[in-house]
Amino acid sequence: MAAFDRIVITAANEAQAKGYRAQTAGDSRVMVIPDPGDRRVGSLGATVNAIRELGLDQGRILVCHSGGDARRTPGYAAMGKAFVPMRDGRSMFEHIVEHMEQLPLPEGMLVVSGDVLLTFDYRATDFSRPGVIGVAYPDNAWQARRHGVYVEKDGRVVDFLQKPQVDEGTYLIDTGIMFIDPPTVAKMKTLPVSGDIYTEFPAMLLKGFAPFSVNVCPSCEFFHIGSSRELLERLGDGNTYVDKAFCRLELAGGNIVTNIPPGRFEKVVLGPNECLTVLPLENGEWYDLKYMLDDNFKTDGLWEKHGLGEKMKRVDHARLLAVRGTGSAKYCKVSAPVRIDFAGGWSDTPPICELEGGAVVNAAVLLNGKRPIEVVVKERKDRFVKIVSKDLGKRRLVKSAEEIADHADPHDWCALVKSALAVTGFRFGERGIDITISADLPKGSGMGTSSVLGAATIAALLGTVEPDLISRLTLQLEQEMHTGGGWQDQLGGLVGGFKLLKSMPGKPQRVQVSRLEPDRAWLKELEKRGLLYFTGQKRMARNILRKVLAFYAENPHDFGKILIASLKSDAKKCAKAIERGDFDAFVESLNGYWRDKKLLDPGSTNERVEEMIESIRPLISAVTLTGAGGGGFMFIVAKSPRDAAKIRKMFTENPPSKYSRFYDFAIDPAGMSIEVG
């Protein structure tokens, strides 16, 4: 047994070869060789072409033919049949290489098919004879009618029959394995680049091109996926087959669902025998290919109807691999800042933003020098899900899909994680994971904590921190939990630094993120005069949210719409002030924001908060409660650095509650980060 020195995968054209190269990029031994002229030349022609391209006569070489369109398995047509994932997650190609490396091979070339996995007694083979050596096993007439058949005498091949029409008897069935010794490989360079290696080549060998012999094994097991139904039966559970589908599914049976990217669908509902795959095409396009289980794209015209010949050439393999890689890491750690909102909050909340569009200015911030949000997802050996909250000191082992589906109670400390599992399409029982969450700041803080934590959990489950995707899924998560909320909180933690977030009216919301770059003098002023203080009063934002949305819906005297317009206008002024380095204009917009929030809902403040503000009124230029208000964190801009020191001393010596305290804050320019292993 020895490893191959070089592994060749043949492809029908350069577009298919590009996809194969992307899927084998981690193995330096692999070389993908397309048929010349972007047209099929047959398996013999492809072998001759590979010999010419390699220019090698030495070493152990594996040639794996994979130039088919996979028309009868459209769920994997974009990947190729050789790359269908087996039950252990590795591709058929990887298994083929592993199996063939168990053969006692000398130097030479081994030719195999990329869509068949063969298991037999590898030790019962002998490849020491000269010329070309096949591998066969005895089987009945039914198998003979479906395969090539060797006729041998004393190990020497005297005839080779293609699918003979026989009714009884035992025959030597060709496995498709063919070993070619170095002298014959060198001789094959002169052959035309055309023909089939299992028809034309045996005929040439029988006429004396090279010695021709066969290994006969007692038995052989074929693993072959020749159709969608075989895929369902051999790799699925017999009823459904789901691979990399990141959405919730409602399946009636007989369904194959493959390569559904996160965020493409909120939910997929398929009737009996309905199947779905999504093709990522160039220029950011997606093509949703819906088909029936027994559709035969090879003979029924559906391949041409969907224009798949051209679409396969336009597949964006980087995006396909991104979907394939989603959620497959054994370890993923996500850390995130929280956010301070300076203007425009509430305009980002559905249905307000869907009707009016939104505009918010916020910044990602570290608290006491670190990112307070952290989520770690690790693979576990069993199929359960363990949820651990470090800050709450709680843990729970989830043992059923029904437990994950029960996530609508916001008072359940596991609800956020279970909702994240739901919106990312996690299928209980496919793999086990440990999820550890941590939020190192007080609950009900007004810093977007739950939204950022939800976003971080989604990011850790999917293995990506792509802002638009994670933001949209976080909105779905909040709908699942019936807490509501907008898009500014999660984007505040996802994207670093100061930013203006804007959306146009419509559904779904598409948020434009514009980074704001204040100068050093402005940042220094904020550092000297800005204070972040936890009031000690916790509140649940969804209670304020309901009041605000009710007020907006009633819209007395057009006042709701006027206030939303004012919030958005103020956000744009705030962004300009930050960009220009105009600290006075920034302070003015912050005061306007606090005023409008209180007008939208008087519950944004309360008697205790107002008492605190009044006690420092002579020392401040601006103040607001972060987020929805009602308690949580207070952001203060003192009139001067000296006044900031006075405020810090006053509240430290006489805190309004035992929970009240100052937090040091710093702008986090990076935003949410991910570590995958």
DSSP per-residue letters across 214-244: EEE-S--EEEE--SHHHHHHHHS-SSEEEEE
Which CATH number applies to 332-667: 3.30.230.120, 3.40.640.10, 3.40.228.10, 1.10.3720.10? 3.30.230.120
Which CATH number applies to 6-223: 2.60.40, 1.10.3470, 3.30.750, 3.90.550? 3.90.550
First to last CA, the chain: 32
Q: Quick one: pLDDT at residue 321?
A: 94
Domain limits of the chain?
6-223, 228-325, 332-667
Q: Look at strands 248-251 and 267-270 and give their pairing.
A: parallel
Residue 666's DSSP bridge partners are 366
Which residue type sits at 10? T
Q: Quick one: pLDDT at residue 548?
A: 85
Q: Quick one: pLDDT at residue 540?
A: 61
Q: Quick one: pLDDT at residue 56?
A: 62
Q: Quick one: pLDDT at residue 542?
A: 64
The stretches in the chain having pLDDT less than 70 are 1-2, 56-57, 539-542
What HEC string does 592-603 produce?
Answer: HHHHHHHHHCHH
Q: Tokens 């809902």 sit at which residue? A: 601
Q: What is the pLDDT of residues 21-65, one digit of tens each?
A: 999 998 899 999 999 998 899 999 999 999 999 976 679 999 999
The answer to whether 446 and 631 are in contact (CB under 8 A) is: yes
Task: With CA atoms as reference, report the closest residue to 85 among 254, 243, 262, 255.
Answer: 243
The answer to whether 143 and 69 are in contact (CB under 8 A) is: no
Q: Quick one: pLDDT at residue 15?
A: 94
Strand, helix or coil at 452?
A: helix
Number of helices (H), then strands (E), belonging to the chain: the values are 22, 32
The answer to whether 634 and 611 are in contact (CB under 8 A) is: no
The two tokens of residue 391 are 């800050």
Global pTM?
0.87
Task: Look at the alpha carbons of 304, 305, 308, 310 in this order and tell me if their dihedral is positive or negative.
Answer: positive
The gap from C-alpha 371 to its chain's centroid, in whole angstroms, comes to 24
> E strand or H helix at 522, and its extent?
helix 520-529
- CB atoms < 10 A from the CB of 185, how many? 22
Strand, helix or coil at 625?
A: strand
Q: Quick one: pLDDT at residue 546?
A: 81
- The span from the CA of 128 to the CA of 176, in Å, is 19
Q: Tokens 């899924």 sit at which residue? A: 473
Q: How large is the angle between the packed helices 520-529 and 583-600, nearest 10 degrees? A: 50
- The span from the CA of 568 to the CA of 356, in Å, is 10
Q: Quick one: pLDDT at residue 426?
A: 93
Which residue type sits at 256? I
The two tokens of residue 532 are 């972040």
- The span from the CA of 431 to the CA of 437, in Å, is 19
Q: Quick one: pLDDT at residue 547?
A: 85
Q: Quick one: pLDDT at residue 603?
A: 86
Q: Look at strands 358-367 and 498-503 and give their pairing.
A: antiparallel
